[in-house]
Structure formats: C-alpha cells, structure tokens
Amino acid sequence: MTMFNRRALLKAAGVSATAVVAPSLLSACSGGPVADAGNAGKDLADWPAYVPFSGPTPDAPGDATGLQPLYKTYPAQLAQSVKDKVGDGSDVTAVYLTYGTPPTPVEQNKLWQELNKALGVNLKLTVVPAADWAAKIATITASGDLPDIIMSNDIPRKNEFILAQCADLSEFLSGDAIKAYPNLANIPTVTWQKMGRIGGRIYGVPVGRPLSPGGLLINKTAFDAAGVPKQATREQFLTGLKALSGNGRYGTSTSQGELTAYGQALYYAASEGVKGAWVRQGDKFVPGIATEQFKAAVETYRKAVEQGSFHPDSLSKDTAADFLNGTVASKFWGFGGYSLDTITKIGGRFEIDYALPYGSGANWQSGGIFGFTVFKKAPADRIKLLLRICDYLAAPFGTKEYELSHYGIEGVHFTRDAAIGIKPTDLATTTEVPSALGVRYISDAPWPIFIPGQPEAAQRLYDFTKATLPASAADPSVGLISASWSKNAGNLNKIIGDGIAAIGWGRRPVSDLDTIVKDFNANGGAAAAEEFAMEYAAAQAE
C-alpha cells in the first residue's frame, strides 16, 4: 500500500498505508532465491468467501459503499461467535506495535490472563512502542528466531521476508476454505483486496479499518458561531478560518505524525477535486500532486497560512492538546480521533464533527486497512491454531468475544450503565487499558460506529460518512506491489512533504510545484507509476 505514507498521517484512525515491499535482486534471508512478489502473470488465489455476520440490528444500516452500521446504544443481548475450542494449551508468541503505553505484564494483567483462558493458549506478547518499532522489527526479522504471529508493517524488504519465511495461507483462506473461520469470513472482500496478494498468493490476515478516512475534525460549536456553512465554498471556508483566528486562537492546525505539511494539504486537495495520492488517467497512474487541482489546493493552503489561521507550531508538533482545549478550532485527524476519548477530554466545552470538503470536492478514502498479520512457517495444524486465534479476535461487534477483547471483563474493566450501556472503570482507563494490550492489531472485526454514551456524536459521524463515502475517491494503488515505490518511498515522501511545506509556508512559489513533480518522477515516482499500472491491469483481469 502506498498513500504517500498516510499511515503516519492517519494513525489516529489506525489506518496503515505501509508500502508492500517487493523483493530485491538479493537472495532471501534464508539464503535461497526469492520468487517474484508481483502478481502480474501469476495464477491468483481466489479471495476468501464473504459470509456476513447476522448480529444485533443497528439504528442505521451500513451499505456497500463501506458505510458502517450505526449503534447509538450497546446491544443488550450478545451472541457467542466462537463455540469450539480454540487453543491447545501451548505458548503462542506474537509481536506488534502500540501507539500507547505498552501493557502491564501478564502476571499483573487480568485482561491478558482472561484472554489466555478464553483462547486456551499462553500468549507471549511483545508489544513495541511505535517509536521503537522500525528498529525492533528489523532485529527480529533478521534474527531467524521468529514469533508465531508477526505484524507485517514496516518490515525491511517485506515481501522478500514474507516469501522466504512466512506461511502461505491460501489453502486455509482462499474461497470457501475460510468458512472454517466464520469471523474471518465476516471480513469484507474489499478488505482482503486492500491487503493484496504476494506472488499471487494470500499470506496474511488483514486488520481492516473503515474506508472513511476522517478528515478535518472541527470544533462544531466554534464553526457554527463563526457562520461557516456545513457545505462551504472555498471563500466561505477561508473567511471562517480567519474569523476563528486571533488573540492566541487559531482556525486550524497540524495533522498527526510525519509529513505534516502534506497532511495539512489533504483536506484542501480533496476539496479542490484531487482524486487521491495516485490517480488513474486512462490506463496510467499519475501522482495526485501532478494534477492542476493540486496547485489550487496548495494556493488555498498557503492563503490560510498567510492570513494567520494556522497554529505557528503546525510543522513542528502535533497540537492535539490545543484542539482539545479550544486553542485551535480544527485539525486534520483520522477516523479514530472521533472517539469517546476525545469527547471525554473536551469535557462538554464544545461538540465535534468532521467538515465536509468545501466546494464540490470529495473525500479521499482511507486505505481501508491498518496492516496485516503473517505467521512464521509451521505445520498445518499449527497454522490452523493461529487462524483460530485470529478468528476469535475478529469476532464482530455484538458478540461476547468482541466485548472481552475490546472492553475487558465486566466488573473489572467496565460496568453496565442504563444510559451508556458500557462504562469503563478506572482500571480500564489507567493501567489495564484494553487498547494497550493491542490484540486488535493481530486481528480485528469490521468497525461499527458506536461511541458509548454519545448517541448524538455517533449520529453526526454516521451522517458525515454517509454523505461523503458515495462520492469519495479510493487510491487505486492500495494492495498493489511496486518495487520502485518500495525502494524509493522514503525519499519520495520527503520530496513531497518538504516541497509542500516550503510552498504552503511561503518559502517557495506555487509554480515550484512543477519542479517537485519532476523531482518525484526522476527519483523513482515515474517507475512506480508504471509498475502500479501493470499490477492494476493484472488485478482487473482475474
């Protein structure tokens, strides 16, 4: 996946856009030659059959566009989706990252202990802080001493590693074979497609995320007071930002993660009609920055900076705290930023919403996937055990298994509340935060729209998603393989991010965007575009 490193831009949503790394001409870590990781000309494994879960009736339905079902209240009755024994009492090792504080050790962690009991295994989890992930996963994959379950994000020479040392799961997951794992069969086909194949085969279990990318999260109360209409023109939007700025207050601020300038420009790019990080023109792939609409987006972004609407620290830090305390009235924030945690920290001072694209533009879809899990090579019975674990962790909303993995143990990590339905305890918000254990990064269910005790906020999120998804643009490169992109992505991302920052913040003229595009193409972008086009054609021909 590519998205110009949108994992960094959208990590609050848990959206990964890690490039699928194609093999180099070197031999594999195990010493033997590696087959071509591309899919063009290969006998492609069938995508897993899709068998949707029939769960609790939502307040508003999802649909084929990727709209998630809305639940304003927590289901009163829960289903049990896993009835057979999962584990065999053995140790199961796993490594994955966390964006929060790593969990307390299993000896002091009641949720970890309960999951071990439910799964019938002894989970030995290596949970790595995101800042340390690149170094840690490089060491692990180079060592040859692999855990059973591995988060595949940002592995050096990833496809080379996977082809050499990880299990081909096609015979267990392709077509109707997946029906042995009903919760994995509930993962929509599009999520598997976003993960993609490697060498024509299925090597992973995708960790899906909503297609809605979030976008510009706004202080709705402040925007309404400034008279910014919900469907604003470019001029109305800029006027509103200016009205919201002054006396130590700013209309907007930074995105999360690296490439902040590009993150800041995404809302403007979508609003101006740029269709994505990559755009298909006929049978060709073209970077979004090469379109005429992107010039207009950068010009509007620059005007917002020039009129003093951006927080001055927007290129140097994530100003989430400034949004929460009202110092900035909007910030680019992924889908996960629209959450109970955000609303709780705001403490009723204002309501939140996502801004629609101004003008007649349309949102970019997210990659639809955080990443995917792979297994080290093992006998078939061991692979089936690991798949049963993933099946349990992918149990849908409205099941007892989902409740345990996402909320913990009743009476320990949450209580039931007549108004909220489910209320976290102090333990679950301090030392045993269910998300800190992070098993949802091994395998996860499709996300519903549900915010405990916040039915109005949940309805606004549903309304935004319903309004934007039908016309939203999907990145056609997601799930495709490009050796040139994999090799050059870091430098290409830097060319884009540095260039947009310099133009947007007045250090280079807008006309220099043409030079940035030339640099992008000359340093591997043009080759990546050709490779994506070839892979796309192969995927469409199946």
How far is 185 from 439, CA to CA, in rounded Å? Answer: 19
Three-state DSSP string of 56-80: CCCCECCCCCCCCCECCCCCCCCEC
Q: Is the pLDDT of residue 435 over 70?
A: yes
How far is 275 from 3, CA to CA, in rounded Å? Answer: 12
Q: Name the pLDDT band for 527 (thresholds 50, 70, 90).
A: very high
Taking every pair of Cα atoms in the chain, the longest distance, rounded to a whole number of angstroms, is: 65
Query: Two tokens at 66?
Result: 């990727």
Q: Are 265 and 297 in contact (CB under 8 A)?
A: yes
What is the domain range of residue 307? 215-364+482-540
Q: How far is CA 275 from the centre of its chain?
A: 19
Nearest to 537 by CA among 365, 284, 364, 368: 284
How far is 307 from 284, CA to CA, in rounded Å? Answer: 38
Q: Is the pLDDT of residue 176 over 70?
A: yes
Q: What is the per-residue pLDDT for 37?
A: 82
Q: Are 100 and 435 in contact (CB under 8 A)?
A: yes
Q: What is the per-residue pLDDT for 436?
A: 83
Q: Is the pLDDT of residue 521 over 90?
A: yes
Q: Name the pLDDT band for 526 (thresholds 50, 70, 90).
A: very high
How far is 2 from 8, CA to CA, in rounded Å? Answer: 11
Q: What average pLDDT does the chain have? A: 88
**What would the mean pLDDT of 281-302 be, rounded to a whole number?**
94
**Same-domain status, 198 and 225:** no
Residue 501 domain flag: yes
Q: Is 102 exposed, middle or buried (0-12, 13-18, 19+ CB in 10 A)?
A: middle
Q: What is the percent of the chain where pLDDT is above 70?
A: 92
Q: Is the pLDDT of residue 30 over 70?
A: no
Residue 473 domain flag: no
For the stretch 218-252, pLDDT in tens is 999 999 999 999 899 999 999 999 999 999 999 98
**Same-domain status, 384 and 514:** no
Residue 464 domain flag: no
Q: Among the three residues 436, 454, 472, which one is the final residue of a domain in this structure?
A: 454
For the stretch 34-79, pLDDT in tens is 457 888 788 899 999 999 998 899 999 998 888 999 999 999 899 9
Q: Is the pLDDT of residue 33 over 90?
A: no
How far is 36 from 162, CA to CA, in rounded Å? Answer: 12
Q: What is the per-residue pLDDT for 401?
A: 97
Q: What is the percent of the chain where pLDDT is above 90?
A: 66
Residue 465 domain flag: no
Q: What is the per-residue pLDDT for 53?
A: 93
Domain count along the chain: 2
Q: How far is CA 197 from the centre of its chain?
A: 18
CATH number, domain with residue 77: 3.40.190.10
**Same-domain status, 308 and 206:** no
Q: Is the pLDDT of residue 31 over 50?
A: no
**Same-domain status, 99 and 165:** yes
**Same-domain status, 295 and 425:** no
Residue 133 domain flag: yes
**Same-domain status, 486 and 353:** yes
Q: Is the pLDDT of residue 502 over 60?
A: yes
How far is 55 from 13, CA to CA, in rounded Å? Answer: 24
Q: Name the pLDDT band for 156 (thresholds 50, 70, 90).
A: confident
**What would the mean pLDDT of 4-19 be, rounded to a whole number?**
36
- Mean pLDDT is highest, among 11-20, 249-258, 485-494, 518-527, for 518-527
**What would the mean pLDDT of 112-132 be, rounded to a whole number?**
96
Q: Is the pLDDT of residue 1 over 70?
A: no
**What would the mean pLDDT of 314-328 be, rounded to a whole number?**
87
CB neighbours of 459 closer than 8 A, spacing ≥ 6?
A: 70, 72
How far is 151 from 37, CA to CA, in rounded Å? Answer: 19
Burial 282-318, CB ≥16 within 10 A → b, else e: eeebbbbbbbebbbbbbbbbbbbbeeebbbeebbeeb
Q: Name the pLDDT band for 542 (thresholds 50, 70, 90).
A: low
How far is 374 from 140, CA to CA, in rounded Å? Answer: 14
**Same-domain status, 406 and 290:** no
Q: Are 478 and 195 in contact (CB under 8 A)?
A: no
**Same-domain status, 136 and 280:** no
Residue 398 domain flag: yes
Q: Is the pLDDT of residue 14 over 80?
A: no
**Same-domain status, 24 and 76:** yes
**Same-domain status, 119 and 159:** yes
Q: What is the per-residue pLDDT for 34?
A: 45
**Same-domain status, 173 and 53:** yes
**What would the mean pLDDT of 267-290 be, rounded to a whole number?**
93
Top pLDDT among 471 and 49 is at 49
Residue 110 domain flag: yes
**Same-domain status, 381 and 416:** yes
**What would the mean pLDDT of 318-325 be, rounded to a whole number?**
86
Residue 151 domain flag: yes
Q: Is the pLDDT of residue 393 over 60?
A: yes
